[in-house]
Structure formats: C-alpha cells, structure tokens
Copies of this chain bind each other. A is one copy, B any other.
C-alpha cells in the first residue's frame, strides 16, 4: 500500500463559524493507495477526538499502527487496492495541523488560549479547502466514527454535492448533556490543575512532571468509551497483587489501567488541543442555523448510512436511529440505512470490534 504524509500551508484566511479568522494555517494529512485517473476513487476518513491523520500503516520504529489500520488497507473493508484514502488531522489538534500550540502569526509564540474556538463545520471547511487545492472536488465516500461521524454528517449537510456516500459510526447529530457532562469533568480536572498554569504550561515540563488533571480527565473519558460489560470482561474485580485490600490506596486492576492510560496521555496529546476539541464536540449540533433536524437533513442529497453499537453509552444508538427516522420522514428513505451492531464494548466498539461491522462498510462502498 502506498502511503504518503504531507503538509499543506494556507495563507488565505479560514473564516470560522464564530466570526473569527485563522490565518495562516496548515493541515497535515495522510493518503493510502492511489488516486485513479478520473479521481473517482477518493474516500475521506475522519478521525475522532484524540485521533490523527495516521489512520493506517505502521511508522518505522512504532509499536502501534494507525488508529483504523484494521479497516483501511489492501484487501480490507476500505480497500486501498481500489480506493484512494485521505485522512486529515483536524485543525485544533496537535499532530501537525494548526492548533492552539501553533505559532500565532506574526509572532513565533503559540496561540494557547488565544486560539479561536472551532466547530465541526470549521473542521470540515478546512478539509474541503485542502481537497480543493489537491484538485479533488468529489469523493466516493466520507467515513468517520465518534467525532469523525459528526464530520461525515456535516459533509452531507453542508457540502451535499461532495460525496456520494456518508457513513457515520458511533456518533450523533447533537452532543447530549450526558456526553457534555463527561467532557465537563475531564475539562474541569484539567483546567483546575495548577500545572496547567491557565494554559501557560511548558509542553516539555509537563511531560516530565506529569499533568494529573489531564490524566484524571482522560480516566473520565475512558469510562464513557467503555461499558459495564467490557470492564467486567477486561478486569472483573481483580485486585493488584502487590496491593493490600485494606490499604486506602490499594487498587483494583481497573484502577491501575486507568492510572496507566491517564498518566500516559500527556506524553502524546496536548492539553489545550483537548480543551478545544472537546469544546467543538460539545457545541456540535447539526440543527444549528436550521429550523430542525428535518430542515438540516433536507439538504442531504446522497447516501447517509448510520452504524451504531448497542452498548454505546456515550452516543446512544437511539440518537443515530433518530437521524435515520428523520431521513425517512422527509422522503429520503432510499438514501439512508441504519445498522445497529450488537456489542458489549461500548463506544470504543468502532475502534475494536472491526469484525462486526467491516463487512457493512465494504458492502456500502461497493454498492452501485
């Protein structure tokens, strides 16, 4: 599989939904496979909160592959023998695209809290501008899970002529107060940590000394990504062997897992990107600037497929079902399908239970 990693720089201003401007900005993106001569084989893959443009393949020296390596590749559900796949790191993120720790032109100092609030619409708009520069004006499909699914929906509504097919997994049309509450705890834990220094932290220093608030926040995120069943299977009530049951700080294995993954988070993700992207998720509402969900979905001109997971406790299946039902209600039943995958894994199923849904993606992409 041919993989390329590229950066594009833009000096034209990006006009944001908030009325603010991002100027200049850069987007890092990765491609898999080859663009065919009539540019009809493009598939856009959109990443989630902590994801990146690195969706597939394994970098030299890395233990881990891209976040959807099991889905994107030669002979896989998104078959790179057939399709040319693009995954763009979103603005606001910390893997190479312009985000809060990027220099604030003309200064060489980072934006930090002066970075503008971005929305899913802004994130998608930047991708459309990038594709335009690459000479790509149409895609076969846009696909994403979680926040990636929000982007797919946004493509379908705001750029109805861009892609033939849209696939949302484990996502929603408007973030619920329940999901906002999880983000609240995570954001609160972060900003109240004195080491966050109101956004003036030293990025190198926090990697060395730790940033407990971000760790705690990440732990809270993990709860929302998993489920009672997946935790029961993974950890049960196993207790850390070297800890005492009657020690106040003795730990269950599930606690050790949260500690490890929470504390490690600061090593690979930026605290301010975390704040800005969770904000974008919180304020995502596909009905904004429309009268209703019916009204916004009435803009959709092509296929919108919805794949939910029965045990997703962050974005409930019924939220996806509502999109499907609304599409049917407004006479677009031929453009929509709803698939609920039975899974105990919770929200994370779209990253781990590949075998359960990959064939659906394959079928949707191959259908004429």
Contacts and interface: CB of A to CB of B under 8 A. Distances in A.
Interface of A: 17-20, 113, 116-117, 119, 174-178, 180-182, 184-185, 188-189, 191-194, 212-213, 215-216, 219-220, 222-223, 226-228, 231-232, 234-237, 245-249, 252-255, 258-259, 262, 275-276, 279, 282-283, 285, 313, 316
A227 B70 CA distance: 33
Contacts of A246: 17-20, 116-117, 119, 283
Nearest to A256: B184
Given A180-B255, A313-B313, 15 more contacts: A18-B246, A20-B246, A176-B231, A177-B237, A181-B258, A188-B212, A188-B216, A189-B189, A192-B212, A192-B215, A192-B216, A228-B313, A245-B283, A248-B276, A252-B282
Given A184-B255, A254-B184, A275-B248, A189 B177 contact: no
Given A176-B231, A177-B232, A254-B180, A185 B223 contact: yes
Nearest to A318: B228
A243 B49 CA distance: 24
Contacts of A117: 246-248
Contacts of A113: 248
23 contacts: A17-B246, A20-B246, A119-B246, A177-B235, A177-B237, A177-B252, A177-B254, A180-B252, A180-B254, A181-B231, A181-B255, A184-B219, A185-B216, A185-B258, A188-B215, A188-B216, A188-B219, A188-B258, A191-B249, A192-B216, A194-B194, A220-B220, A248-B279
A182 B213 contact: no
Nearest to A272: B248
Contact of A181 (B189, B212, B222, B247): B222
A261 to B, nearest CB: 11
Nearest to A251: B184
Contacts of A223: 178, 181-182, 185
Contacts of A285: 237
From A18, A185, A255, residue with most partner B Cβ within 10 Å:
A185
A231 B213 CA distance: 25
Contacts of A18: 245-246
A192 B176 contact: no
From A116, A192, A215, A236, residue with most partner B Cβ within 10 Å:
A192
A163 B196 CA distance: 53
Nearest to A224: B223
A231 to B, nearest CB: 4
Nearest to A288: B245
A182 B181 CA distance: 13
A100 to B, nearest CB: 9
Given A237-B285, A245-B283, A227 B178 contact: yes
A187 to B, nearest CB: 9
Contacts of A177: 228, 231-232, 234-237, 252-254
Contacts of A262: 188
Given A246-B17, A247-B117, A255-B184, A178 B216 contact: no
A249 B191 CA distance: 10
Given A223-B182, A316-B228, A189 B216 contact: yes
Nearest to A191: B249
